[in-house]
Structure 1
């Protein structure tokens, strides 16, 4: 009998990883679904540092739903520890991995360099990064990309098909037909399901046949505000910031959220409703991803692109003329001389690193500043502390008073809300077993109760739980 073991993103949002063991004729075939980075605090750091043990040498394939680091960020560590088999993903995911994993390795190297300087001064043992650029290059060489709807034969007689998840470029719902106990069992993993109200991405595909469903539950306890209300709130915040004379800080994920925010800013600009003089995209990775989105615009929602008539040209200057892309550290630091009238979009989205921290140092203690939170903030992150109302936070070794006005605008989420999640899983015939992953316990329990009312048996697995298909 084939089995599935939950190794990550259980009762938490990050660290996606599931081990599929297929009972073949003479031996067990092992496939890994996802290999994500844990995010949020020292517990996450310890989980990321933990060795894979014998797993890299036992695996025959890795299957990846999309390129966000909480789904893909430990792949180079897996390769560093000995994995050399194929990594199956979509073409969009392969292109994003090249940008994201290289950036992650670069940041790790810098962080370890600073940490080791302190350790050397204090007589502590030195540490190594989880992986290096050479590990990323080896990882990318193992990637095999496939189109949506294209059946792919994997070891152990497993068949893989990717379906559009509508979350970010290349994101996929993973469908696996798995031999088990003399039958074929259909396992469907939602990956991260997109929000149908969000722009640029197409709506998530609905599937109708499954025996077992792994479903994300990030927003299992609530729906997002309607997009038109969200946009009005966003526009009002920008107007208030202009009146107060301060800057607007937007910590944004480099993939997906940044491109959506730029889209909405461009709409406001062309409607004559954007009073700010400059918009800075202060993230080298987000700049590369934005350029990739333009190159891959044929994969995006054509109706959204028509709004600004850029589908044919992809001209970023027409898209948002006041946009400035700051690639270098010197350009980023120069932004700190601007005391008002600017919108600054910078990573990281959960404020747990990146250039947004530097802008916090210069803007967070000003009452005229508007801090706009546009994405999910995992427990243990600086962003979560601020959203939860912290009056003081520690940023880059300094204690800062949070005097900026904080606005949480959840309607920009690239994740499906509660109603969309129920609609997606409700489309399956014959009520398959559901396992809720990628969610905090409260959100998972709320979704579990609603699913049970609909006649769908839903379980909330724990780390290490193993189930038969």
Structure 2
């Protein structure tokens, strides 16, 4: 058997792995690269010819795990794409939105390059189109948690709840070769144990080989009560300064988690009643999907629904759909909270709100998720005094805050806790989906604490397992 690493290697985005076993080729995830220095990989032909892949297994619907699927299908892949029902629902809105953005970006770049009489590093055509996204979505097939799925030639897959976002899965692959059955585990993105909505990640007790994410492999988050109190303090301090709280927000999970927290803070009167704008059509659509699958929530969240304390409905919450409504937010006098995509400030409506707030020292820009290297969000977080937004330079005068406890990823303690469920060491643990410093820090920690063999693979590396 051989495992090849085709993304999220010593960096965070672009998750994609290929397992070759029993004359079958199985791809796990097919994500888009989002770091500036790796964007060209999105345009490269697939390192594995699509016609050679027998099945594509998707862990969840975040763009860095599913965002290249339409291009892969357009290149010739026609096999099944297996995912949980909730992931299929979310991937539908994610891929349709992504395709539309690619079309709009290509049109904008073409006009700008014609005006400036220059060429950019990438073609002035969409990476893929809405038609490509629709063609890919037709290949999706639903799989349920904890249910064996035959992939042929003695290979079986089982999906388990990863606790990351709605429908997210960690995947076990069982490969039978005569009397021996090898078990290969892909963590996908693992959630943390105190998520306000999602269940804890499913524990697994045996594997011959593990590929695990390492996004926060070098640090721990704040705990849940601290997060609630810190969020309240940030809001109250900003209101006292008569500013706005602008939160770059991932449409899936982060927006819903923030709505839950704000609903509790408002109902408990820990913050004043002020308007909370959800300025993201995708986040609105995703919230409707979350409400469609309450059986996937943890016990506490399900209880809130049953008690009438709906976590996605509270006084002051306002969903913004149209572009005109979004623009009108800037004319509002008095403090408000603005949640807008994208979470790393790479596009979307958040850029407009940053332009209108980042120069004002009374406002706060609050980051509640990971900011990949090379993104606008990373430049703001790391303290750049000026940033370029829509072709213009803006002084960063607003207060910049981070709230790591809202990450949908497990921290170092959470990752180690999940590994400790394994009763015996695997032959090899591969760490992926983390910047090199985080992955190498976790590698050293696992080796010291557990005595396991750990590898941090390079892009396109192959490993015999």
TM-score tier, shorter chain, comes to: over 0.9
1:62 aligns with 2:64: no
Match of 1:148 among 142, 145, 150: 145
Please tell me whether residue 29 in structure 1 is matched to residue 24 in structure 2.
yes
Aligned residue number for residue 199 of structure 1:
196
Deviation at 1:347, TM superposition (A): 0.5
8 A Cα contact 1:5 1:466, kept in partner: yes
Q: Indicate the residue corresponding to 1:461 in structure 2.
A: 457
Match of residue 366 from structure 1: 360
Map 1:105-184; keep pairs closer than 5 Å: 105-123=99-117, 127-179=124-176, 183-184=180-181
CA distance in 2, matches of 1:109, 1:59: 28
Segment of structure 1 superposing worse, 118-127 or 166-175: 118-127
Deviation at 1:233, TM superposition (A): 1.0
For 1:435, what is the secondary structure of its paired residue? strand
1:440 corresponds in structure 2 to 435
Aligned twin of 1:13: 12
1:257 corresponds to which of 245, 254, 258: 254
Structure 2 length normalisation: TM-score? 0.96
Work out the CA distance in 1 between the residues paired with 2:329 and 2:38.
32
Q: Does 1:304 align with 2:298?
A: no
Q: Is the 8 A contact 2:6 2:47 kept in 1?
A: no
Aligned residue runs from structure 1 range 257-296, under 5 A? 257-296=254-293
Structure 1 Cα separation of the partners of residues 341 and 244 of structure 2: 16
Residues 68, 311 of structure 1: alpha-carbon distance in 2 compared, 3 angstrom cutoff: farther
Q: How far, CA to CA, are the matches of 1:447 and 1:170 in structure 2?
A: 26
Q: What's 2:369 paired with?
A: 375
**CA RMSD of the aligned region, Å?**
1.6
Q: Which TM-score applies when normalising by structure 1?
A: 0.95
Q: 1-side partners of 2:212 and 2:381: how far apart?
A: 26
* Pair 297,438 (structure 1): closer, same or farther in 2 beyond 3 Å: same
Given that 1:40 and 1:381 are in contact with CA atoms closer than 8 Å, whether structure 2 keeps it comes out as yes
Judge conservation of contact 2:263–2:311 (CA < 8 Å) in 1: no
Aligned partner (choices 440, 451, 454) of residue 446 of structure 2? 451
Shift of 1:196: 1.0
CA distance in 2, matches of 1:55, 1:255: 31
- 1:62 is paired with a residue whose SS is strand
Q: How far off its partner does 1:120 sit? A: 3.0
1:406 to 400, 411, 418: 400
- CA gap 1:54/1:186 in 2 versus in 1, 3 angstroms: closer
How many angstroms apart in 1 are the aligned matches of 2:359 and 2:401?
Answer: 15
Q: CA deviation at 1:444?
A: 1.1
Residues 331-342 of structure 1 aligned to structure 2 (within 5 Å)? 331-342=325-336
Counterpart contact for 2:273–2:315, Cα < 8 Å: no
| Corresponding position of 2:211 | 214
What is the CA–CA distance in structure 1 between the aligned matches of 2:282 and 2:156, rounded to whole Å? 34
Q: Do the aligned partners of 1:254 and 1:283 also contact (CA within 8 Å) in 2?
A: yes
Q: Partners in 2 of 1:366 and 1:215 — Cα distance?
A: 41
Q: Give the structure 1 partner of residue 72 of structure 2.
A: 78
Which portions of structure 1, spanning 4 or more consecutive aligned residues, are displaced by more than 6 angstroms?
A: none
CA spacing shift, 1:448–1:53, aligned 2, 3 Å = closer
Summarize the Cα distance change of 1:53–1:414 in structure 2 as closer, same or farther, 3 Å threshold.
closer
Q: Secondary structure at the match of 1:310?
A: helix
Matching residue of 2:314? 320
User: 1:307-338 CA deviation, whole Å, 9 max, x = no partner?
Assistant: xx324768578x21211111110000000112
What is residue 40 of structure 1 aligned with on the other side?
Answer: 35
Distance 1:190 1:54, change over 3 A: closer
Count of aligned positions? 460
CA 1:132–1:316: 2 relative to 1, 3 Å = same
In structure 1, the gaps of 5 or more residues are none
Structure 2 segments unaligned to the other structure (5+ residues): none
Moved more, 48-57 or 354-363: 48-57
- The separation in 2 between residues aligned to 1:185 and 1:161, in whole angstroms, is 13
Q: What is the CA–CA distance in structure 2 between the aligned matches of 1:330 and 1:221, rounded to whole Å?
A: 42
Question: Hey, what's the Cα distance between the residues in 1 that align with 2:158 and 2:454?
Answer: 24
| CA distance, structure 2, for counterparts of residue 90 and residue 401 of structure 1 | 44
Go from structure 1 to structure 2 and tell me whether the alpha carbon gap of 1:212 and 1:53 turns closer, same or farther (over 3 Å shift).
Answer: closer
Match for residue 245 of structure 1?
242
